[in-house]
Amino acid sequence: MSKIFVTKTFLPPEKEYQEYVSGIFQRCQLTNQGPLLKELEARLSEYLGVKHFHYITNGTVALQLALRVLGIDGGEVITTPFSYVATTSAILWEHCVPVFVDIDRETLALDPARIEEAITPRTRAIMPVHVFGYPCDVDAIQEIADKHHLKVIYDAAHAFGVRYRGQSLLNYGDISTLSFHSTKLFHTIEGGACIVKDKAVSDELEVMKRFGHDSDHHICMGINAKQSEFHAAMGLALLPHLPEIYAGRRRVSEQYDALLKGCVKRPKSVPDLEYNYAYYPVIFRSEEELLKVLRTLNRMGIYPRRYFHPSLNKLPYLERQIACPVSEDIASRIACLPLYPELPAEIVEKISSTIRQVLQEEAGGAEC
């Protein structure tokens, strides 16, 4: 059996991608807001049901641009310790101070009940994460932000295609950001996006992502966050395959659900949610139990991944250490199982039966 990793990049038929590439060679415009990039922005904006959509270099730069265009530079940003390191890195890179607030034990999202006690005169924004594509408590977070005149930037790297209460989850907050890295369910090899609520802010970000100038008119300090035609071509080639991508991921997820019911804990979902099946996280009873499962699966050539470990408040280069016991506990016991459309049913069965067997051994023979 070949190695099974936590994900596998979905690639469209090579011919479909090459058709877009042939057009690039004919036009000889490789970047600088080319026609494929503009087409991808328009089609994704329509597909997702959002306005003011900006396709850019990657998801980390998207967060940095969001902080910069909203004028957060230098202030404190309340954020979650349970995320990929890029969330914290973007805050630090923009010379802001991450202030970690612990997570809800059931949803794994930033706990709104803990936010207000972390607000100081230097607080400028809240940056929650829709972890694994499950929504944060957007109403509670927005109420706190409005009360204290704070901006809200959602790291929605996992939330492509997620709909909540009949609309895109990306429509909440001042800015939502996406990642189109090759590990995501929709990717452009590398890439990201900003979805901006306010048109004036959107117009400023449009200039900022292109060095801050329009032709010879230098408007603001900018950065090169442009994306190439070749990356846009991948996105356009992938778009028609989204139904099969969703269907395949749902099939695998539902098979795990049936085979692992009662054995492992899962994040709590919410009503009125149309999920994207981006990840399949499972929470074990202890770190020792988790590590034994991982070692057993690794010996079989199967490689789940510890999303997310460590809890980001424990990063060694932080100047300020803030205890987040719930996040630290969950981070020690959680992993994501392999999930991608082509994952064979027999492999899902093998992974699930192995997990059940290990958990049974750890429980002294009692079935989970």
Q: Which residue segments constitute the domains of the chain, with CATH numbers given?
A: 14-239 (3.40.640.10), 242-362 (3.90.1150.10)
Q: CA torsion, points 328, 329, 330, 334, in degrees to nearest 10? A: 100
Sheet containing strand 97-100, strands side by side? 53-56, 192-196, 175-179, 151-155, 123-127, 76-79, 97-100
In this structure, the number of other CB atoms found within 10 A of the CB of residue 266 comes to: 16
What are the backbone dihedrals phi and psi of residue 364, each rounded to the nearest 5 degrees, phi first? 75, 30
Query: Is the pLDDT confidence value at 5 over 90?
Result: yes
Across 260-276, average pLDDT? 96
| Percent of the chain scoring above 90 in pLDDT | 94
pTM of the full structure: 0.97
Across 37-50, average pLDDT? 98
Per the CB < 8 A criterion, the answer to whether 191 and 242 are in contact is: no
SS3 state at 193: strand
pLDDT at 320: 86
pLDDT at 216: 87
Classify the C-alpha dihedral 230-232-233-238 as positive or negative: positive
Which candidate, 93, 100, 55, places its Cα nearest to that of 77? 100
- Cα distance between residue 165 and residue 134, in whole Å: 13
pLDDT tier for residue 30 given thresholds of 50, 70 and 90: very high
> What does the pLDDT look like over 127-141, one tens digit per residue?
999 999 999 999 999
pLDDT at 249: 98
In this structure, the number of other CB atoms found within 10 A of the CB of residue 333 comes to: 20
- Cα distance between residue 153 and residue 113, in whole Å: 18
Each as own residue / partner, the long-range contacts of residues 142-151 (CB below 8 Å, 24 or more positions apart, any chain) are: 142/172, 142/173, 144/112, 144/115, 144/116, 144/119, 148/116, 148/119, 148/123, 150/78, 150/119, 150/123, 150/124, 150/125, 150/126, 151/70, 151/72, 151/124, 151/125, 151/126, 151/175
In this structure, the number of other CB atoms found within 10 A of the CB of residue 143 comes to: 12
pLDDT tier for residue 367 given thresholds of 50, 70 and 90: confident
pLDDT at 358: 96
> What does the pLDDT look like over 298-352, one tens digit per residue?
999 999 999 999 999 999 999 988 999 999 999 999 999 999 999 999 999 999 9
Helices (H), the chain: 14-27, 35-48, 59-69, 85-93, 138-148, 199-208, 229-238, 242-260, 287-299, 325-333, 345-362
Query: Is the pLDDT confidence value at 363 over 90?
Result: no
Type of residue numbered 288: E
Query: Is the pLDDT confidence value at 64 over 80?
Result: yes
Instruction: Name residues whose C-beta falls within 8 Å of residue 55's C-beta, 6 or more positions apart in sequence.
Output: 37, 40, 41, 44, 188, 191, 192, 193, 227, 232, 235
Query: Is the pLDDT confidence value at 202 over 90?
Result: yes
